[in-house]
A and B are shown apart, each in its own frame.
Chain A
């Protein structure tokens, strides 16, 4: 069950900045659990984009950035490119479920 809420879709023109929100609760993000973000291109496995709230793995462009505040987190994509068109998911640990929870997912469309 998803207990992290994301907007179903966001869109932007090439070069623009878009943000994706991830709203949780006091048992996950609000409890201090780290947030990761994943990018899933059509027909492929998810790929780690951001870990530990705001850290980029090697090879991920600095156009992608993460932040966290209170019970929410956000992913920002600046300088939007056609190759960024994908589904994006947040992830955190939930202490009441004793396991991970994913966000509901957001489809990013490049206009």
Chain B
């Protein structure tokens, strides 16, 4: 069974940093691009970032470009999202999601984790 398990969420002050992790199982991790998607309280879904299966290509939404970094360790079957210079508007549930293809954001996500909550507040 394909599973994704996020961790690392929590309360952080504005301007602070946080690193999210997503542990994968049940599929050949390195063969698929991976994504982070977030959902602010009471709002819709927002794509945040994607990384190719090899890790060689990364993609970001304009709202997080320059502040967030996405990476993966295929030997540890884990996806990461390093979030710096956090703002109140980054408060959301962050989902890890497996892409349908290997090379990047093209075919959409087919498997989602349960999410981890990030709250940016003083």
Task: Return the contact of A45 from the options B47, B107, B110, B112 (Cβ within 8 A).
Answer: B112
B113 at the interface (CB under 8 A from A): yes
Contact size class for B? 20 to 34
B25 at the interface (CB under 8 A from A): no
Instruction: Please provide the chain B residues from 69 to 122 with a CB less than 8 Å away from any CB of chain A in the complex.
Output: 95, 100, 105-115
Given A46-B45, A47-B112, A105-B44, A52-B107 contact (CB < 8 Å): yes
Add 16 more A-B contacts to A44-B114, A45-B95, A99-B105 (CB < 8 A): A1-B61, A2-B46, A34-B106, A34-B107, A34-B108, A46-B95, A46-B112, A47-B112, A48-B111, A48-B112, A91-B47, A97-B62, A98-B59, A99-B60, A101-B47, A105-B44
A61 at the interface (CB under 8 A from B): no
Contact size class for A? 20 to 34
Given A89-B44, A100-B35, A100-B50, A45-B114 contact (CB < 8 Å): yes
Interface residues of A (CB under 8 A from B): 1-2, 33-34, 36, 38, 40, 44-48, 51-52, 57, 87, 89, 91, 93, 97-105
Interface residues of B (CB under 8 A from A): 35, 37, 44-47, 50, 59-63, 95, 100, 105-115
Do A99 and B50 touch (CB < 8 A)? yes
B residues within 8 A CB of A98? 59, 105
